[in-house]
Amino acid sequence: MKRPLHIMTALFVALVAALPAWAAEEVVSPTAVAEHKTVGMPQLDTSSFASQIFWLFVTFLILFWLYRTRAVPRVAEILETRQNRISGDLDRAGKLREEAEAALVRYQQVVSDAQAKAGTQIRATRERLVDESAKRQAELDAVLATRVAEAEQRIRAARETALRDLNAVAVEVAQAAASRLIGRDVSREAAEAALALVTKEAA
């Protein structure tokens, strides 16, 4: 960028040095002035081309200098600032993405650990409940078996008692019937023997 500036500076110095010659060439006679007044647009007058070219170069050099020293650095600064901001935003976005990915991995790990722990607790609870249920079922079966045995024993005892009572009543009925039929009392032993014989034949 410095080399074009030196070239422009050299051109500017050359033009300034050539200014007196161009100024001398512009001295014309009154007749030429009169003819000049009859010409249309001034910028189309060939006698003023030298001064127009000179001021064109001067204006160009001034504009180039302003562009080189003011506009270009400002635009470069703006572009650099924008690029730095974009780079910073991209870096922050990359860091945030990495943090989000790390947080997602941690979340998935926590969920996996929680599921594994919950599964272990569920299995342990289920096994414990199965064991307790089996134990309670065994205790209940034992209690029921004991109660059934006691009930059967009471039933047998009640049946034996009922049979004894029935035999006694049957003996008494047989004694009463025999007394009415034959007109005399029958001993209890005879009545029991007769009842045993009848029961044996019926069986």
Give the pLDDT confidence of 60-111 residue by residue, as tens digits: 999 999 888 888 888 889 999 999 999 999 999 999 999 999 999 999 999 9
- Rounded distance, CA 173 to CA 81, Å? 130
Residues of the chain above pLDDT 70, percent: 68
Could you give phi then psi for residue 23, rounded to 5 degrees? -70, -40
Residue 171's CB is within 10 A of a number of other CB atoms, namely: 20
Cα torsion through 145, 146, 149, 150, rounded to 10: -150
What is the mean predicted confidence (pLDDT) over 37-65?
A: 78
Domain definitions of the chain by residue range: 2-92, 166-202
Low-confidence winner among 55-64, 79-88, 141-150, 152-161 (lowest mean pLDDT): 152-161
Output the pLDDT for position 47.
Answer: 74
Sign of CA dihedral 20, 18, 55, 31: positive
Burial of 191 (0-12, 13-18, 19+ CB in 10 A): buried
| pTM of the full structure | 0.37
